[in-house]
Homo-oligomer: A and B are copies of this chain.
Amino acid sequence: MGQEKEARTIIKPRLLKGFRDSLPDAEIPKKAIIGRLEQLFSSYGFVPIDTPALEYTEVLLGKGGGETDKQIFHFEDNGGRDVAMRFDLTVPFARFLALNRNSLPMPFKRYHVNKVWRGENPQKGRYREFIQCDFDIVGLDNAEADFEILSVMHASFALMGVEHYRFHLAHRGIFNQMLAHLQIAEHNSEILRIVDKLRKIGRLAVLEQLQALLGDSTKAQAILRYIEKEREDEPFLTTLARLEELGGGESEHSRRMRTIHAYLVEAQIDEHYILDPSITRGLDYYTGLVYETFLVDLPHYGSVCSGGRYNDLASLYTKEHLPGVGSSIGLDRLMSALTELGSPIAQSGSSADVAILNTPSSPFAERDRAARTLRKANIAVSVYLDERKIGAQYKWAESQAIRFVLTDGQRDRFTLKDLQSKEVWEAVSADEAAAIITKELH
């Protein structure tokens, strides 16, 4: 056995490019944020679902086209099936709706937080495996559903402790109405794609590309007048009136937008929403309201929560008409942003409230009994199970951001220390320690 072991090759413990481990420092706050978001979604009556990580490639690639094709992990499984790992949560949701439609309440409000995989070239802050957090309302096409999604978005950012965030709203219908008014509706998709690049390539390049496409500088300039606001702080309804004018008047789409805005005002959250006609969202399935979310203090992060209204999401898989509206939070990117902003929720990295250390005078059974007493009082306790010197034990507790330390158990009396305030309580029982810790923590 011994010789066999010596001879054995050590395999280098390496990770794939674009993939990473999540250590407790990162995983604890990530779980905390996901837990709070899920609780929030539940408080609005949204229910969780999950779908397989692997699906038939044909099923996942029906929508998305060539660009996506190169980015997905797909292969032939042992049974000769062409299978792929999901690259987002939207396509599987469409498939899910088509398959399970009859088992779901309608309207259906769902959330889904899980991993997706993309083979794209990893850049700073972008990985090949990341967590998406989607929430949608399906089976409805009205302002109330649009508003509810927007209001869940607001509540999500509020709970994460971000101070300055702004939801940029636009409406595909009003945009199309403007194109129809200019008699260039047939170029709809190409125009959308050009306009979508405004933030990346700037207004001049957009204008050039539009002129090249339309062969008409007046119309190209009209489009630019539509997507650019005169003043950054132009009021919502002023912008809306201007867009209506550029589109030849009021329409069901602009009326929808006005109703949504009225609900936001009513809920006293309208200050976070601006009408930003430059938002288009590249994806073809959006048909109405679309939105992106920017952190005012970290604009370079780009949108951290995006989505919109689609009026036929599952049309690839069913003839049934299933309108909906939804939103997707890029959780890993948001986590980086929260860390950069110093948000407390991104820093909650302690493994327990109290560590019970191992001093020669305290038998294990006594320390374990104290741990049980503290746990009954809803205090998280990590018993130090090794036998090192006390200094190493303190270091172990501190490295895990454990605030309290209990030592010297003798006949069930302990010394309690608050490593933060340096306060010390001598000869306390486990019950007394529980009371003190509870008081200090709250």
Q: Does A43 belong to the interface (CB within 8 Å)?
A: yes
Is B267 a contact of A372 with CB atoms below 8 Å?
Answer: yes
Copies of this protein, total: 2
Question: What residues of B have a CB within 8 angstroms of the CB of A385 in the complex?
Answer: 107, 137, 140, 142, 144-145, 148
Question: What residues of B have a CB within 8 angstroms of the CB of A42 in the complex?
Answer: 351-352, 380
Partner of A48, one of B31, B365, B396: B31
Q: What's the least CB distance linking A316 to chain B, in Å?
A: 5
* Chain B: CB-nearest residue to A6: B319
Q: Does A211 belong to the interface (CB within 8 Å)?
A: no
Q: Does A237 belong to the interface (CB within 8 Å)?
A: no
Partner of A117, one of B45, B53, B76, B148: B53
Q: Does A95 belong to the interface (CB within 8 Å)?
A: yes
Q: Does A67 belong to the interface (CB within 8 Å)?
A: no
Is A16 a contact of B56 with CB atoms below 8 Å?
Answer: yes
Partner of A21, one of B31, B51, B119, B372: B51
Q: How far is the CA of A31 from the CA of B46 in the complex (A)?
A: 14
Is A49 a contact of B21 with CB atoms below 8 Å?
Answer: yes
Contact (A375, B43) CB under 8 Å given A23-B103, A23-B104, A315-B5:
yes
Is A48 a contact of B77 with CB atoms below 8 Å?
Answer: no
Is B129 a contact of A386 with CB atoms below 8 Å?
Answer: no
Indicate the member of A24, A53, A85 with the most B CB atoms within 10 Å: A24
Question: What residues of B have a CB within 8 angstroms of the CB of A263 in the complex?
Answer: 364-365, 368
Question: What residues of B have a CB within 8 angstroms of the CB of A318 in the complex?
Answer: 10, 13
* Chain B: CB-nearest residue to A155: B375
Is A381 a contact of B115 with CB atoms below 8 Å?
Answer: no
Q: What's the least CB distance linking A417 to chain B, in Å?
A: 17
Q: How far is the CA of A393 from the CA of B315 in the complex (A)?
A: 26
Is B13 a contact of A317 with CB atoms below 8 Å?
Answer: yes
Is B16 a contact of A52 with CB atoms below 8 Å?
Answer: yes
3 tightest A-B CB contacts, nearest first: A45-B382, A75-B75, A24-B47
14 other A-B residue contacts (CB within 8 Å) besides A42-B351, A263-B364, A267-B368: A10-B319, A13-B59, A15-B52, A21-B50, A21-B51, A35-B35, A44-B375, A44-B383, A46-B351, A107-B386, A140-B386, A142-B386, A145-B385, A267-B372
Q: B-contacting residues of A (Cβ < 8 Å)? A: 5, 8, 10-17, 19-24, 27-28, 31, 35, 38, 42-56, 58-59, 62, 70, 73, 75-79, 81, 83, 85, 95-96, 98-100, 103-107, 109-110, 115, 117, 119, 128-129, 137, 139-140, 142, 144-145, 147-148, 151, 262-263, 266-267, 314-319, 351-352, 355, 364-365, 368-369, 371-372, 375, 378-386, 396, 399-400, 402
> Can you spell out 9 A-B residue pairs with CB atoms less than 8 angstroms apart?
A11-B58, A11-B316, A15-B99, A19-B55, A22-B48, A43-B380, A44-B383, A73-B75, A266-B369
